[in-house]
Structures are given as C-alpha cells and as structure tokens.
Amino acid sequence: MNRQCLLLGLDGASFDYLEPLIREGVMPFLGRFFASAARAPLQSVVPPLTPPAWTSLVTGRSPGRHGIFDFAAPEGPGSLFQRMISSRDLSGETLWSIANRHGRRATALNFPAMHPPPAVDGCVIPGWVPGRWIRRAVRPAELFDRLKKEADVQVEALGYWPDQESKAIEGCRREEYEPWIRLHIEREREWFRALRYLMTADPTDLTAIVFDGADKLLHLCWTSIDPRSAPEPSEAPFVHLRGLCLQYFRELDSFLEALVGLAGPETTVVMASDHGFGPTDTLLSLNTWLAENGFLVWASDGPHNGEAERVHYATHEIIRGLDRARTQAVALMPSANGIWLLKDGERWREGFDSDEYRSLRVRLVEGLLDARRPDTGERVVRRVWTREEIFAGPFFERAPDLTVELVDSGHVSVARNSRAVTVRAQVMGCHRPLGVFAIGGPGVRGGAQLGVRSILDVAPTILHAMGLPIPAAVEGHVVEEAFERDWRQAHPVVHERAGAAPDAENGSGEEMDAQSREQIARRLKALGYMG
C-alpha cells in the first residue's frame, strides 16, 4: 500500500511568534498539531532567502548543487546583469519528480522557481507568476478552467497583480496597510480552495502547498504582530491592524485544520518553513559603504537620498552608474546580501585561486566586520561568507563572491544613499535562520521535541515516510529520531545507488514574456528584494 504525504509550507514561520499566537488562542489547531507531532527548529540556507530555501527544502540539496541563489540569476557566464529565475535554472530532482519516477503522482502549489511548470504527473500551479500568465502556467492545461468552473476558485488571484500589490507597499503609508493585509487574506483563501478541491477531486500521493501570506505581513507589519516591538501597543491604530493580522492567522489555522482532516489519519503530515522571522532596526547601504571605503566608484554624482529605505535602483541602473574601470566590488541585489567582485570592469573570472582575489576579499571582510551603528557604536555585520564556504557545488560560479550576514539578519540596501549605516525610523520584520519543522502521522513520536535540523533534511524525511528510497545526490538526512523505534525497525532507510537517478530537472513549456518578467521585478522591488 502506498504511503501518502501532505507538505504544508508556511513561508516565514518560526516558533518565536507562532507559540505566542497559539497561547493567545489564535491558532488552536496548530497548537494541537505541534503537541501531537515531532518537531524541531529548522536551519535554513545561507542567506535565509525564499527561492533558494524552498528549492533546498524540496530537493534536499544546497544552492551550490541546485543552482538557485536568489530571485534573479546572471544573464550569462561572468555577467553582472541579472534576470528573473525560472525553473530552467533549477538542477536536480525535486520531490515531485522523484515521486513520479517511482510511479507516484504529485501536486505542488505556489513554490518558487517552478515556471515554466515541470512535466509533473499530477497538478502544478507555480508561485510568483503574474495573474495574466496563470492560465498558461498551470499543469495540466485544463486545470485553470476546472478550478474556476468546478471549485469557484478565482485563479487569477493566485498570481501577481501589480496594480493591487505595489500600490499597497511601495509607499508603506499607514493607511495602505489594511488593504495589503486583506489582499493576502483573500489570496490565501483562494489557494486553500484550490487545494481543497484537488485533494477531493484529484488526490495524489504527495500533496504540497506554500502559504506565503505570513511572510508578506511579517515584513511590513512586524510591530502589529509582535507587541514587544510596537511603539504604542494600546493605541487604536495598532489594535486595529493587529486585529487584521490575527484574522489572517486564524484563517490560516482553519485552512491547516481542514487540509489535515482531508488528508486523513494514515497520511504523514509535514509542516515546514523556508526561514524564520524577527525584527530589524538597522540598515546597511552596502554600495554606499563600498564607495566610502574605496571599493566602488560611481561614474557621476547622480541622485541619492538619505532615507535609505525609500530609495531603490534597478540592478541595470546600478551597473550603468558605476565607473567599472575603477570599481572592485558592487552589491547588485539586496535580497541575498551578496557582493560581486570586479576586475577590469567585469566580473572576476580567475576565482579564489588568485592571490589578488583573496587579498581583496580579506580587505572587504575586515572592513565590513568593523562597520558600526551610528547611535550605539555596535557592530552591524555578524559574518561575511566566502562563496566556497557556503556555495560549494557545480553552480558555484553563479553565486556572489561574498555574502554578508547582518547582526539582526536583515537585508542590506543597494541604493546610493548619503550614509552607509542608518537606524530605521520603524522596526521592520526580516528573515531569520531558524524556521519550523513538524511531522505527524503513522509511526511518528508524538510530542517529541528534537534538536535543530537542516532544511536539507525535509525532502529525504518525506521520501522515507512515503516508503521511497533516498537518491544518492540528496545531501540531507532522514530525521529518523522523529519516528518510533518499532516503526524505524520495520521501515529502514533505503538509499539509491549513485547514477540510479537523473541529475537534472528543468521546466518545460512557455517562458514569461518581457512584460510579465517586468511585473515580477516590480513586485520584488516593492518588497525590497530587488534594488
């Protein structure tokens, strides 16, 4: 008998804020599930960023081995110019393709780096696709009409509509928060309706979805969700916005309860997140720091603005604004906190075997570690990673040369600002390395609290729970301590031999047109992920 699994992805979830919501009675089902499940904090990839993290979760591979490092990728080998990622950038099998290879069908909704949709035996609706492109993005092709006619799902709402979203967040004015929150409440309802229909009308052995509204709310509404960060927690505006945020989490809790109920008691249920969340109040304008320290030279004075959070430049504009002959390092995207090293105006091609290259990195690392807050004099940067430390693998060359980790885990700015380090006028939410992992179902040690596990461990654990062998290329390990001793003895972990499985998987179908790619770029820019 085939063993089935339901993967419920909770973008940005961490025990730090979920447990208070459970204690307040906002998420009673989640509280009961956690109590009956085996759970652990989940260590994300470095940096803890949505596309590489979710891709690592569903492949069991690190970014250097699956090829996804950011929301964008270099346009070509050695190029500084960036384009939006697609499924064609992803290498290696996913949970869906592994399940298919063993004759098991799969459903995957709202995961990044899945457009064009892969040739999955089952159902796919990719995440991060403009609403006007959704019809051509779903698989199978008739799924769009089935969802609209048979399930009354507003499928277009699952995509990105810039006239709704960017208006609500680009200015970040207080009066824009309510429609922003309501937008994501409505969108989660549509994702839930779509999956509820599929689980009833076309059930598959592996069913997975990402609910990503919490991530969006936490970025902008952190002070409304965490009263400890609120300047005036008793004031009416705070109480109103907090009530709306809690409505989101209450509805999410009801969706989780309904989906687990549909899955049934014999299905293994995994809840996991790509990263956690926490507050940030410091902003490092990385290109400004590079310029102040002689590593970057602008071609002209150009426009700049002291309000770092409100200034954004497209990557192409950053490159065009450089004096590339005299620039040694530049930050192109704030999302991955990466620094790209240049030589003779182009990306350094010699790699880390060059003494000159190594010397430049040492000077950058030493300088960044000495960056200080203007108010307290405390360090801003916790660590600077070299690419060989965190991105080893066949796609190593796509990665930034250095990756900066801030003390509060925040994103940097790549804008050209008047000061390198500023204190934010308002506390914002930012990604943190520790997310959540919880597993319930047959053979699971209910109530077990485990030590920190890697995000790479989720895929092999799901495969094992489904009775499938673990491909040799998977880097993660089965979380065996989540299962009862008797169950482990009856179901030993099985590994495939090297070479038994294909090592690459790419999307098929149509690419997005230029207008759609630009809409995605606008969304990322509005969210602060793109410069």
- pLDDT the model gives residue 282: 92
User: If phi over 0 gives left and psi between -120 and 50 gives alpha, with beta otherwise, what is residue 78?
Assistant: left
Beta bridge partners of 330: 340
Cis status of the peptide bond prior to 47, with omega within 30 of 0: yes
Beta bridge partners of 431: 277
- pLDDT the model gives residue 519: 56
Q: What CA–CA distances, in Å, run from 52 to 57, 66, 470? A: 9, 8, 21
- pLDDT the model gives residue 501: 67
Cβ density class 28-47: b for 16+ within 10 Å, e for less: ebbbebbeebbbbbbbbbbb
The reported pTM is 0.92
Radius of gyration of the chain, Cα coordinates, nearest whole angstrom:
23
Superfamily of segment(s) 5-275+433-527: Alkaline Phosphatase, subunit A (3.40.720.10)
Q: What is the rounded CA–CA span in Å between residue 267 and residue 1?
A: 12
What is the residue extent of each domain of the chain?
5-275+433-527, 281-429
Q: What CA–CA distances, in Å, run from 308 to 238, 285, 415, 418? A: 25, 7, 7, 8
**DSSP label at residue 89:** G
CB atoms within 10 A of CB 490: 10
Torsion angles phi and psi, residue 128, rounded to 5: 60, 40
CA 186 to chain centre: 21
Torsion angles phi and psi, residue 465, rounded to 5: -60, -30
Q: What is the rounded CA–CA span in Å between residue 409 and residue 430?
A: 7
User: If phi over 0 gives left and psi between -120 and 50 gives alpha, with beta otherwise, what is residue 383?
Assistant: beta
Nearest Cα to Cα of residue 187 among 167, 213, 166 = 213
Give a three-class secondary structure readout of 109-168: ECCCCCCCCCCCCEEEECCCCEHHHHHHHCECCCHHHHHHHHHCCCHHHHCECHHHHHHH
- pLDDT the model gives residue 133: 86
What is the pairing mode between strands 402-406 and 338-343?
A: antiparallel
Per-position DSSP letters for 413-456, written without gaps between them: B-S--S-SEEEEEEEEEEEESEEEEEEESTTB-TT-BPPPEEGG
The two tokens of residue 281 are 């109040």
Tens digit of each residue's pLDDT, the chain (531 residues):
789 999 999 999 999 999 999 999 999 999 999 999 999 999 999 999 999 999 999 999 999 999 999 988 888 888 888 888 999 999 999 999 999 999 999 999 999 999 999 999 999 999 988 888 899 999 999 999 999 999 999 999 998 765 555 433 444 577 778 888 999 999 999 999 999 999 999 999 999 999 999 998 998 888 888 877 776 767 777 788 899 999 999 999 999 999 999 999 999 999 999 999 999 999 999 999 999 999 999 997 654 544 333 333 457 788 889 999 999 999 998 889 999 999 988 888 766 678 999 999 999 999 999 999 999 999 999 999 999 999 999 998 899 999 999 999 988 999 888 999 999 888 889 999 999 999 999 999 999 999 999 999 999 999 999 999 999 999 999 999 999 999 999 999 999 988 766 665 555 545 555 555 555 555 555 555 545
Q: What is the rounded CA–CA span in Å between residue 434 and residue 17?
A: 12
Nearest Cα to Cα of residue 245 among 216, 266, 268 = 216
CB atoms within 10 A of CB 432: 20
What is the pairing mode between strands 434-440 and 268-272?
A: antiparallel
What is the pairing mode between strands 5-10 and 268-272?
A: parallel
- For the chain, the first-to-last Cα distance in angstroms comes to 51
